[in-house]
Amino acid sequence: MQVDPLIGCRIGQISLVERLGHGSVATVYRGRSGSTGQEVAVKVIRDDHTQEERARFLREGQAAAAISSPHVVRVFGSGQVREHLYLMMELVDGESLGHHLINAGPLSCAQGVRLGCDVAQGLSALHAHGIMHRDIKPDNILLSQEGRAKITDLGLAKLPTDSNLTSVDALVGTPLYLAPEAILKPSTISIASDLYSLGATLFHALTGRPPFTSPDPFALIEAKLEQVAPPLTRLRGDVPPGLVALVARLLEREPKARPTALQAMRELFVMGPPVP
């Protein structure tokens, strides 16, 4: 088994002690302070990635550093060690919603309400700063051991001061959870597009699948552009009517018909106040 050369590496007072996860661009480690024992997550990217990937990585730190919300993973700082860029982040002991759904299946309705309320609150904080996440999906939501949700991975986020890193007509995000307008004309996306992705994520969390699925990407896109999202009740009969209606509004094809993150959070809170 190949040994990770960064295990044992020090970044200031932080030692990298364990690899937590690895993606196509970055690797996340558990870091521990030698003086206090405090643990953090350290996200690392090598400098042999493209300029676009490096720029997105740094933008993630810039976006998250501006947000103070219990439902957005905090970034404490960034820097470079050897040839590696890194972000020092809040450590969330738990798993992604995506992993949870694979391992444990759909959430209960009460868990779905709490999840939606948490993510809507995190989105409300982002949107208040003019930040669009652009890639809300189960893999980008972390669940703590207490079951609370935190939004992570702002690498595709659009900041109010951004000049586009990619062409305005480039497709950005994950098609299963993207809003129709983000597919049809990416330059027209808005904060309402994040709310569609929240609706698709809630649909998946409650039913075990996204609202539109197809092994053919072109058929998937065609369905999103031409069909109304199926109601939750088609796949699950015990979802409360208020939650069914809210998810349907989040999945409206017309962006103006969707609620804001704050409106969604308020409606979900009324359905069942989250456990502190």
Q: Which residues are catalytic?
A: 135
Q: How open is the CA angle 91-94-96, to the nearest 5 degrees?
A: 100
Q: Where are the alpha helices (DSSP H) in 135-216?
A: 180-184, 191-207
Which whole-number Å values give the CA distances from 55 to 131, 134, 166, 239, in the listed order? Answer: 16, 16, 11, 42
On the CB side of 237, CA atoms within 13 Å amount to 0
The C-alpha atoms of residue 45 and residue 208 are separated, in whole angstroms, by: 32
Tell me how far the alpha carbon of residue 258 is from its chain's centroid: 19
Q: Rg (Cα) of the chain, in Å, rounded?
A: 19
The C-alpha atoms of residue 217 and residue 224 are separated, in whole angstroms, by: 11
